[in-house]
Structure 1
């Protein structure tokens, strides 16, 4: 996974507690926190962001 805040690439499957250190919702938390900056990324939104980036690049042309 690539963090949308800082661009750091990491494997979300290797993070203990999905990188969460402050939230008490370890079992139901849908965020994966970046080990570099702590930003909460949503893995289910990755495809939507990829689509938006592709669409944005198409309009630039």
Structure 2
């Protein structure tokens, strides 16, 4: 997984504690916190964010060719 805040790449399956320990939803937390910056990433949103990044690149390339 790549953190959307800092860009650090890590394997979320290797983390000891996926969520934050201070959260009341600790047992049911669906966030994966980046081990570098602590940002809570949502694994289910990965495909949506990847689509948005690709779309932004497409617009940027289109703008630079005009």
User: TM bucket by the smaller chain?
Assistant: 0.7 to 0.9
Return the TM-score normalized by structure 2.
0.81
Quote how far apart the aligned CAs of 1:19 are.
Answer: 4.6
RMSD between aligned residues: 1.2
CA spacing shift, 1:19–1:36, aligned 2, 3 Å: farther
Aligned equivalent of 2:57: 57
Bigger relative CO (Cα 8 Å, ≥ 6 apart): 1
Return the TM-score normalized by structure 1.
0.87
Alignment length, in residue pairs? 61
Quote how far apart the aligned CAs of 1:30 are.
Answer: 1.1
Decide which structure has the larger Cα Rg and report it. 2
Structure 1 residue ranges without an equivalent (≥5) = none
Secondary structure of the structure 1 residue equivalent to 2:44: helix
Q: Would the aligned equivalents of 1:30 and 1:42 in 2 still touch at CA under 8 Å?
A: yes
